[in-house]
Chain A
Amino acid sequence: MSNERCDIAIVGAGPAGMSAAIAAARLGASVVVLDEQRGAGGQIYRAITDAPARRVDLLGPDYAAGRSLAEAFAASGARHLTNAAVWQVTPEGAVHYLRDGATFTLQAERVVLCAGAMERPFPIPGWTLPGVFTAGAAQILLKSADVVPVEPVVLAGCGPLLYLLGWQYVRAGVPIRALVDTTSMEDYRRALPRLGGALAGWRYLKKGLSLMRALKRAGVPFHTGAENLAAEGREGQDGVAALRFTAGGKAHCIETSTLLLHHGVVPNTQFTWSLRARHTWDDAQLCWRPKADAWGALDVPGIHVAGDGLGIGGALAAARQGELAALGAMHGLGRITTGERDKLAAPLRAALREHLRIRPFLDALYRPKKANRIPADDVIVCRCEEVAAGDIRHFVALGCDGPNQAKAFGRCGMGPCQGRQCGLTVTELIADARGVTPAEVGYYRIRPPIKPISLGELAGAE
């Protein structure tokens, strides 16, 4: 129960957190990295430190790239607290966490939040049925436990992760009944001008297209421009039984007991909201971003953010942002001069620009469809309290003008997930119903503890 102190506490051991730790430790800081998992890597490099060669080969080169980063992190001298669930970060730099059933507090001079991304909610009819997972969930089963579906799966939605998972499943011998792509030719027409002349962008596009080609070569049936997605159960059965949709002017119904949904990831903003940091609505990525300066520093003094928690940029961008945040934090502590900081930052900024160059294209091409973000009345929005889109529209008609009021009107967002799964949907739904911008509607007021903690565990804290 001791009150440990350090220069820099880093929350999250994904690419941003590991890179921030390596950079700060190299400059002589005492660094503690806290992460919920049993090993470093975050979700993108999940279980990279103990993955057997066979699995690394199956998952592909982008996953394998995490190994050298994890090794550098292990050798950095930073202290890594595994299985540590951080349930509160205070503006004063106190990091409260739960580990092995006991609560601890770490007092840091600077905190770098590297909480990463989570899957964007995909509220369609039937998305709460057992057997409906996010594509990310399926990939975590593969990365962390070698577990794959038995019966033919259906992948639905859009975005690089969906196609990557399909490619990995083909290599693993997992049967894919269909890839139901919500991307239409119109999306390609809209996105292509944003590709620009950058070579990096074209390389990225080529890589994506080769994944698609591999899936088609493997005989995976493709449906493009899919709309009106709905998961269906069957009488007398608990789980999902089929996916219905329309594509090419035809209605389709494909049977499956495992439906994997994905239409992008969004920043995990639980910590930054709970710190009352300012956020802005990003209309290109359709999500909230905490307002931060060039070093990831929030308007809460001493707290930085790096990686996808700042806005989705991917693993390589996250690593550079982690290093920049470390430089900013060390400069703030007076441990490096402005000249040293800026000299070290220059190549990082150049690399970051290069990694982010593809984003406008990806954001436009895989922009999630409005119908899959702001659903019809009978679709459940808040999975925990089972509040439907129609309930929210009804609340708005009664005078509810924002997410916090939606809690009072019908417990929406008040279940155990604390709004993680419904927050973005509720913001957009209310904005749409009121005819105003999401920025005007705002977000839930997030309060600690942001992870479940029992009375017994709390009572045991100092």
Chain B
Amino acid sequence: MPTDVRFRSLVPADASPRGEPMVTLFFDGRALQAPAGCSVAAALLANGVSTFRTTPVSGAPRAPYCMMGACFDCLVEIDGQPNRQSCLVAVAEGMQVKTQAGLRSFDGAGTVIAEEAAHVE
């Protein structure tokens, strides 16, 4: 086992926890296996991903902190849409997940406006 893998499943790889099929998703092009229904964040952690993104301000590395949708530190790009909370999105077959470096991109309909809209006086 590579030393950078910090999490593991209590259940053997050939038996998914809920008896559900394993799905294949991709993180920065690398194929990963995870049980259907598992969150993207849990799937990445169990597959040895320890840094999910870098911050827009200083470029510092970040990874999930709360796993319940409150901290927004687990943000990644999922199927082309940036700023997705990976702890709240379930894995899906063929899903393309990418690390998010610094500022999210502003192109296309995927632009997330929550913080801007939320603070306009």
The answer to whether A and B belong to the same complex is yes
Complex interface: chain A residues within 8 A of B75 (CB): 416
Cross-chain contact B112 with A133 (CB below 8 angstroms): no
Give the chain B neighbours of A150 by CB distance below 8 A: 1, 5-8
Q: A118's closest neighbor in chain B, by CB? A: B70
Q: How far is the CB of B114 from chain A (nearest CB, A)?
A: 4
CB of B72 within 8 Å of the partner chain: yes
* Residue in B66, B109, B110 whose CB lies within 8 Å of A137: B66
Q: Is A372 an interface residue (CB 8 A)?
A: no
Residues of chain B with a CB closer than 8 A to A52's CB? 17-19
Contact of A385 with B by CB under 8 A = yes
Contact of A196 with B by CB under 8 A: no
Check A417 for interface membership: any CB of B closer than 8 A.
Answer: yes
Once bound together, how far apart are the Cα atoms of A258 and B46, in whole Å? 13
Distance in angstroms from A173 CB to nearest chain B CB is 8
**Interface on B for A, CB 8 Å cutoff?**
1, 5-11, 17-19, 35, 37-39, 42-43, 45-46, 50-52, 55, 57-58, 60-73, 75, 81, 83, 85, 87-88, 90, 109-115, 117-120
Q: Which residues of A contact B57 (CB under 8 A)?
A: 385-386
Assess A448 versus B118: contact at CB under 8 Å? Given A147-B9, A150-B1, A456-B110: yes
Q: A85-B88, A151-B6, A417-B70 are in contact. List 18 more A-B contacts (CB 8 A).
A: A38-B90, A128-B62, A130-B63, A137-B65, A137-B66, A145-B46, A146-B11, A147-B45, A384-B55, A386-B58, A414-B119, A416-B72, A416-B115, A447-B118, A448-B118, A453-B114, A454-B111, A459-B109
Question: Given A137-B65, A417-B71, A452-B85: A147 and B119 within 8 A (CB)?
Answer: no
In the complex, which of the residues B10, B43, B63, B111 contacts A239, with contact meaning CB atoms closer than 8 Å? B63
Question: Are A415 and B35 in contact, with the CB atoms below 8 A?
Answer: no
- Are A141 and B7 neighbours in the complex by a CB distance under 8 Å? yes
Give the contacting residue for A420; candidates B7, B61, B70, B83; CB below 8 A.
Answer: B70
Cα A257 to Cα B69 in complex, Å, equals 23
Min CB gap A210→B, angstroms: 24
> How many residues on A have C-beta within 8 angstroms of the other chain's C-beta atoms?
64
In the bound assembly, the distance between CA atoms of A331 and B72 in angstroms comes to: 39
Considering the chains assembled together, what is the distance between the CA atoms of A289 and B47 in angstroms? Answer: 40
Determine the residue in chain A with the shortest Cβ distance to B61: A238
A178 CB-CB contact with B under 8 Å: no
A418 and B114 contacting across the interface, CB-CB below 8 Å = yes
Task: Give Cα distance in the complex from A157 to B7, angstroms.
Answer: 22
Contact A140 B70 (CB under 8 A): no
Q: Which residues of A contact B43 (CB under 8 A)?
A: 145
Q: Shortest Cβ distance from A141 into chain B, in angstroms? A: 6
Q: Tell me if A92 is interfacial: C-beta within 8 Å of chain B.
A: no
| Complex interface: chain B residues within 8 A of A420 (CB) | 70-72
Does A91 sit within 8 A of B, measured CB to CB?
no
A447 to B120, CA, bound (A): 9
A130 contacts across to B, CB distance below 8 A: 50-52, 61-63
